[in-house]
Amino acid sequence: MRLATLNDGSLDGRLILVSQDGRHATPAPASTLIGALQNWTQAEPALRECAAALEAGKAATFDFDPLRCAAPLPRSPQWLDGSAFLNHGRLMETAFGTPPIPEFDTVPVMYQGASDDFLGPHADVPLPSEADGIDFEGEFGAIVDEVPLGASPDEALAAVRLLVQLNDWSLRALGQREVRTGFGFLQAKPSTAFAPIAVTPDELGPAWQGGRLHLRLHIDWNGKPFGRPSAAEMNFDFGQLIAHAARTRRLRAGSIIGSGTVSNVARAAGSACIAERRMIEKIDGGEIRTGFMRFGDRVRMEARVDIDTTGPFGVLDQRVVRA
Amino acid sequence: MRLATLNDGSLDGRLILVSQDGRHATPAPASTLIGALQNWTQAEPALRECAAALEAGKAATFDFDPLRCAAPLPRSPQWLDGSAFLNHGRLMETAFGTPPIPEFDTVPVMYQGASDDFLGPHADVPLPSEADGIDFEGEFGAIVDEVPLGASPDEALAAVRLLVQLNDWSLRALGQREVRTGFGFLQAKPSTAFAPIAVTPDELGPAWQGGRLHLRLHIDWNGKPFGRPSAAEMNFDFGQLIAHAARTRRLRAGSIIGSGTVSNVARAAGSACIAERRMIEKIDGGEIRTGFMRFGDRVRMEARVDIDTTGPFGVLDQRVVRA
């Protein structure tokens, strides 16, 4: 199933089902995605029946327009972002000039982000200053059902209901200071943005294996290819990340757990954020050549199984503007 | 006005107004506190009219029973907790063995906490292990109306709609590790708990001055006095804390900004958390004598203007239990 949320001016938007070719949509038999997730056992059969009717040409449809979409969940109970690609984490330690994180290879690191005000796939990104070091971070996330306190990684993985693609917007000049406080990112993380379509794991076939997404994230900055890293290289899988989050508290249905910035050891794939490219420039050539984003810049992200297919999550394409 | 939320099994509970003597209550002319906050300009006059009728004995009342209360906001868009008492922060640096936080005296530090699952004033606190270092943290918080991105401290202070008293439950063994990652507290922060009554600033008279609460927090651990620190010693006021939170993103109505653990330089006042007492024991006597909480332990917190009066927020009295 492919689900999206139309922006109708309300806090939770209006849930729709999207066809597999991404061209058509139909109203879902549940008004909001959060409502469906809070009652998934009852909501899922009706949603699947409606999705089957959509594919069979038996539903009343309208053209699917990503420009009308909010984030699949415009707000959620929690947004917890891991750093599951160790290659990214090590490069960011170099960027921030901070000491190595203890147990980084064995215990996931994760920060709690704001979850009350997500951006849709084509919404402008209002930010106060270019001097804050405006950067994108291409990632994936898992939306879970209720997860009990102390769930194992296997139990946690079984609670994944939907997968999403996202841009964890970052302000690097602020992040560098905040990581040194030990209190985590706050000013450094403006609203996170999401690609329009949330998909059930079964929809992804072999692209969802071992709690990881076997997809490449195609990132273009101002129309130029920037990176094509594979998400299969995740060092912790989503089950491990979710179990980490549920170690001392239950997770409510609709909580979103992020992978952290997709990053590959092989540098030919490019990067999913500017800070990483800057560190590679410094390490390889001795100097940073790439600046951060300017107002008016755009970044486009699309996950693909291979170069020719359309991504299951649709496209995230945003412009940075002065707040 | 004094507002509380009855636990009726729903996510947001049922809003009531509480009399100034804390003995009577009446249903509010708004079903939930989050609903009233999202539309405060319209909701406030009706709430005040109802509160006046309650005081005048002209409303249909029932006995106010804090045992039936959820947190005033059982969930909120954001929970952002500062560390505005520098005395506490410096002692915690000693406790965690971490280097001094840069600009600690001039830029507030703040972490993003979970805001989807708050505990009521008498709810048991389910935790997985005594070995995690179970600790309480007595604090205050401000609930705001919508705050625009980039608001000044004065604008931010003007957006305060309600004040609350809370216990920011902490797991110190986990916090010590998490603060070293730079990503902030996550496993170290199970659900935060709130005293039953949220009050409008005008209700506090001279106890609300300069964006600070001039109240003493009376904390008893297992029935024995533990600390009586004054919140007036806050080094950053709530306006500064809220403006810090809104530096790069707007805050939605109903967001809660916390003071951090109340702490006084004068040691006679005692502490509002165990970790602080332990550090003082170590500094003054060379060894830590006090352990953290055990399953079955209780902690009671009540803010008072002076020793004889009842606190405006009511009482927070909880027991720690094995999850």
CB–CB contact A323 B180 (8 Å)? no
* B309 pLDDT more than 80: no
Provide the shortest C-alpha distance from residue A58 to chain B (in Å).
37
- The Cα–Cα gap between A121 and A303 comes to 13
Give the mutation candidate from A146, A249, A256 for the B interface (greatest B CB count, under 10 A).
Answer: A249
CB–CB contact A181 B101 (8 Å)? yes
pLDDT tens figures, B56-99: 999 999 999 999 999 999 999 999 999 999 998 888 888 778 88
In chain B, residues with a C-beta closer than 8 Å to the C-beta of A174 are: 247-248
**Which is nearest to A181 in space by CA: B123, B240, B184, B43?**
B184
Burial class for B156, CB neighbours closer than 10 Å (0-12, 13-18, 19+) = buried
DSSP string of A23-80?
SEEEE-SSS-HHHHHTTHHHHHHHHHHHHHHHHTT-S--EE--GGGB--SSSS-S-EE
Run of H or E including B299: strand B298-304
Residue A236 confidence (pLDDT) = 98
pLDDT tens figures, B176-233: 899 999 999 999 999 999 999 999 999 999 999 999 999 999 999 999 999 999 999 9
In chain A, residues with a C-beta closer than 8 Å to the C-beta of B128 are: 149-150, 247-248
- CB B126, CB B319: distance < 8 Å: no
**In the predicted model, what is the mean pLDDT of residues B30-42?**
97
| Residue in A closest to B108 by C-alpha | A181
For A243, the token pair is 């179990």
Provide the shortest C-alpha distance from residue A54 to chain B (in Å).
33
Q: Any idea which residue has 């995690």 for tokens?
A: B132
Angle A196-A127-A71 from CA coordinates, rounded to 5°: 15
Q: What is the DSSP letter of B179?
A: H
In chain B, residues with a C-beta closer than 8 Å to the C-beta of A185 are: 112, 183-184
Amino acid of residue B146: E
| Residue in B closest to A104 by C-alpha | B181
- CB B52, CB B40: distance < 8 Å: no
- CB A214, CB A206: distance < 8 Å: yes
Q: Any idea which residue has 């609350």 for tokens?
A: B164
CB–CB contact A117 B171 (8 Å)? no
Residue A95 confidence (pLDDT) = 77
Give the mutation candidate from A73, A88, A116, A125 for the B interface (greatest B CB count, under 10 A).
Answer: A116
In chain A, residues with a C-beta closer than 8 Å to the C-beta of B112 are: 111-114, 184-186
What number of C-beta contacts closer than 8 Å exist between A and B?
137
**Residue B311 pLDDT grade (very low, low, confident, very high; cuts 50, 70, 90):** confident
- Residue A241: phi, psi to the nearest 5? -65, -45
- The Cα–Cα gap between B302 and B66 comes to 13
CB–CB contact A183 B185 (8 Å)? yes
- Tell me whether A262 touches chain B (CB under 8 Å): no
User: Is residue A180 helix, strand or coil?
Assistant: helix
- The Cα–Cα gap between A12 and B4 comes to 26
Per cent of chain B over pLDDT 90 is 91
Residue B97 confidence (pLDDT) = 81
Residue B297 confidence (pLDDT) = 98
Give the mutation candidate from B11, B75, B109, B112 for the A interface (greatest A CB count, under 10 A).
Answer: B112
Residue B206 confidence (pLDDT) = 92
Residue A96 confidence (pLDDT) = 75
- CB B8, CB B318: distance < 8 Å: no
Report ipTM (2 d.p.). 0.95
Q: Which of B171, B188, B245 sits opposite A186 (nearest CB)?
A: B245
CB–CB contact B127 A252 (8 Å)? no
Q: Any idea which residue has 């804090």 for tokens?
A: B66
Q: Which residues of B58-88 are buried (b: 16+ CB within 10 A; e: fewer)?
A: ebebeebebebbbbbbbbbbbbbbbbbbbbb
Provide the shortest C-alpha distance from residue A202 to chain B (in Å).
28
Q: What is the DSSP letter of B101?
A: P
Q: Any idea which residue has 């909120």 for tokens?
A: B76
- CB B4, CB B10: distance < 8 Å: no
pLDDT tens figures, B222-258: 999 999 999 999 999 999 999 999 999 999 999 999 9
- The Cα–Cα gap between A1 and A19 comes to 8
- The Cα–Cα gap between B101 and A177 comes to 9
**In the predicted model, what is the mean pLDDT of residues B278-300?**
95
Question: How high is the mean pLDDT of chain B?
Answer: 96
Spans of chain A, pLDDT less than 70: 306-309
| Residue in B closest to A243 by C-alpha | B187
Give the mutation candidate from A112, A177, A189 for the B interface (greatest B CB count, under 10 A).
Answer: A112
- CB B140, CB B165: distance < 8 Å: yes
- The Cα–Cα gap between A205 and A211 comes to 12
- The Cα–Cα gap between A124 and B28 comes to 39
DSSP string of B20-82?
TTSSEEEE-SSS-HHHHHTTHHHHHHHHHHHHHHHHTT-S--EE--GGGB--SSSS-S-EEEE
* B277 pLDDT more than 70: yes
| Residue in A closest to B38 by C-alpha | A11
**In the predicted model, what is the mean pLDDT of residues B116-134?**
98
Angle formed by the axes of helices A172-181 and A86-96, nearest 10°: 90
- The Cα–Cα gap between A13 and A33 comes to 8
User: Is residue A152 helix, strand or coil?
Assistant: coil
- Tell me whether A218 touches chain B (CB under 8 Å): no
Residue A92 confidence (pLDDT) = 85
Q: Which of A114, A149, A245 sits opposite B112 (nearest CB)?
A: A114
Domains of chain B: 1-70 (no CATH), 74-322 (3.90.850.10)
Angle formed by the axes of helices B172-181 and B86-96, nearest 10°: 90
- The Cα–Cα gap between A149 and A316 comes to 33
Q: Any idea which residue has 């009554």 for tokens?
A: B197
Run of H or E including A160: strand A160-167
CB–CB contact A112 B78 (8 Å)? no
- CB B296, CB B130: distance < 8 Å: no
- CB A193, CB A71: distance < 8 Å: yes
Q: Which of B103, B116, B188 sits opposite A77 (nearest CB)?
A: B116
* B102 pLDDT more than 80: yes
- Residue B162: phi, psi to the nearest 5? -145, 155
**In the predicted model, what is the mean pLDDT of residues B142-148?**
98
Amino acid of residue A256: I
Residue A305 confidence (pLDDT) = 83
Q: What is the DSSP letter of A262?
A: -
- Tell me whether A25 touches chain B (CB under 8 Å): no
Chain B segment 302-321 residues within 8 A of A by beta carbon are: none
Q: Which of A186, A190, A250 sits opposite B112 (nearest CB)?
A: A186
Residue B308 confidence (pLDDT) = 58
In chain B, residues with a C-beta closer than 8 Å to the C-beta of A102 are: 177, 180-181
Run of H or E including A34: helix A33-37
Q: Is A236 left (phi over 0), alpha (psi -120 to 50) or beta?
A: beta
**Which is nearest to A163 in space by CA: A225, A218, A241?**
A241
Q: Any idea which residue has 């064995």 for tokens?
A: A106
CB–CB contact B101 A180 (8 Å)? yes
- CB B170, CB B258: distance < 8 Å: no
**Which is nearest to B44 in space by CA: B201, B173, B244?**
B201
Q: CA dist A318 to A297, B173, B212, Å?
A: 8, 41, 41
Residue B45's Cβ-side half-sphere holds a number of Cα atoms within 13 Å equal to: 2
Chain B segment 96-115 residues within 8 A of A by beta carbon are: 96, 98, 101-104, 107, 109-114
User: Is residue A319 helix, strand or coil?
Assistant: strand
Per cent of chain B over pLDDT 70 is 99
Three-state SS across B139-203? Answer: EEEEEECCECCCCCHHHHHHCEEEEEEEECCEEHHHHHHHHHHCECCCCCCCCCEECCCEECHHH
Chain B segment 141-180 residues within 8 A of A by beta carbon are: 149-150, 171, 174, 177-180
